[in-house]
Amino acid sequence: MRILFTGEHDESVRRGVRAAAPQTGVTFGADLAEGIEEADAVVGHVPDALLARARRLRWVHSPAAGVDGALSGALLDSDVTLTSSAGNGAIPLAEHAMLMMLMLSRDAPRWLRAQAERRWDRYPHGELAGATVGLYGLGNAGLDLAAKAKAFHMRVLGMRRRAGMPAPGVDELCGQDDFPRFLAACDFVVVTAPLTAATAGRFDRAAFAAMKRTACFVCVSRGGIADDDALLDALWRGEIAGAGLDAHGVEPLPAESPFWRLPNVIVTPHNGATTGATARRGVEIMLDNVGRFARGEPLRNVVDKAAGY
């Protein structure tokens, strides 16, 4: 059995891999073009052109939580199992969403502008207590955010594809047919869902029109779930009050993008989960799966390739 690892891995990770699968052949920094034909598993991305030559390949692990970039057509049509690092960044993503909501409710950019001008600017602002937040996506990040929002005394609505699963911290679970009602009830709508064929462009002009004019839109998972033109139009027309965007339809966000200049928009550079703990949790998930694969046990975080996550 041979597992190929693409990219760079420090010695502590290499030791962890050897400890997890002591009887397995491993190659770090692998050249897939040379080794793919003999590989049983790959930790990293496998291009479509090489997948056709991977006659023994049974498992691919994505170091990322979202697999929209890894789930190519060839992999989708193959029998190869795909796993992800889903859950590694859930905690900081939920924290980042709370940060966005706090900043938007208090118009924190106004304070920052005043500080830069050394100007004492006191004004009435909002609070999160009593507000309703709608979570579009109730995976690891969404559920962690639900717990944090409840700690801030918020009412939590949730929307997910698999409605029968438990949703602790969620006051009301909405079905897909409830989407307009879900949007109309929220003071904040936070996107924590993966980018899939079903979620791409879900927040279009009709969706933003259904939101309160006082409501804010926050996206911390993947760009492309919101139609950027529709979002810009809603912000310019005052159909929604503001937005906090860590994930963008085009990344890096172009310098000429109007999002940079809008006073009611907070832009961060897809940086919400860039923490050392996220990286450590990702390594832990990968090592757990390496051990499981070597022992012939069920893998963790198996991706439903049809659903896209």
> Where is 41: in which H helix or E strand?
strand 41-43
For residue 74, the model assigns a pLDDT of 87
Q: Is the dihedral of CA 192, 103, 178, 198 positive or negative?
A: negative
> What letter would DSSP give residue 170?
-
- Taking the CA atoms of residue 259, residue 264, residue 268 and residue 272 in that order, the dihedral angle to the nearest 10 degrees is -130
Compute how many other C-beta atoms are within 10 angstroms of the C-beta atom of residue 146.
Answer: 25
Dihedrals φ, ψ of 16, to 5°? -65, -40
DSSP H helices, the chain, are 11-20, 32-35, 48-51, 73-77, 90-106, 108-116, 140-151, 179-185, 205-210, 228-237, 276-295
Peptide bond into 252 cis (omega under 30): yes
Q: Cα separation of 2 and 213, whole Å? A: 56
Tell me the one-letter amino acid at 204.
Answer: D
The answer to whether the CB of 210 falls within 8 A of the CB of 183 is yes
For residue 163, the model assigns a pLDDT of 65
Using one digit for the tens of pLDDT, what is the confidence trace for 174-210?
A: 989 999 999 999 999 999 999 999 999 999 999 999 9
Q: Cα separation of 92 and 59, whole Å? A: 28
Compute how many other C-beta atoms are within 10 angstroms of the C-beta atom of residue 18.
Answer: 12
Q: Cα separation of 108 and 125, whole Å? A: 9
SS3 state of residue 204: coil
Using one digit for the tens of pLDDT, what is the confidence trace for 222-231?
A: 999 999 999 9
Identical topology for domains 2-87+276-307 and 90-267: yes
**What ranges do the domains of the chain cover?**
2-87+276-307, 90-267
Per-residue pLDDT of the chain (309 residues; tens, 9 = 90+): 999 999 999 999 999 999 999 999 999 999 999 999 999 999 999 999 999 899 999 999 999 999 988 888 789 889 999 999 999 999 999 999 999 999 999 999 999 999 999 999 999 999 999 999 999 999 999 999 999 999 999 999 999 887 667 799 999 999 899 999 999 999 999 999 999 999 999 999 999 999 999 999 999 999 999 999 999 999 999 999 999 999 999 999 999 999 999 999 999 999 999 999 999 999 999 999 999 999 999 999 999 998 889
Q: Which tokens go with 30?
A: 């692998």
The answer to whether the CB of 192 falls within 8 A of the CB of 218 is no
User: For the range 169-172, what are the long-range contacts, defined as Cβ-Cβ under 8 Å and sequence gap of 24 or more?
Assistant: 169/143, 170/135, 170/138, 170/146
Task: Sheet containing 25-28: give its strands across.
Answer: 25-28, 2-5, 41-43, 59-61, 81-83
With vertex at residue 209, the alpha carbon angle to CA 204 and CA 213, rounded to the nearest 5 degrees, is: 130
Q: Cα separation of 269 and 213, whole Å? A: 26
The domain covering 90-267 belongs, at the CATH homologous superfamily level, to NAD(P)-binding Rossmann-like Domain (3.40.50.720)
- C-alpha distance from residue 108 to each of 115, 218, 235, 266 (Å): 11, 15, 18, 9
Look-up of token digits 């919400």: 272
Is CATH 3.90.330.10 the classification given to domain 2-87+276-307?
A: no
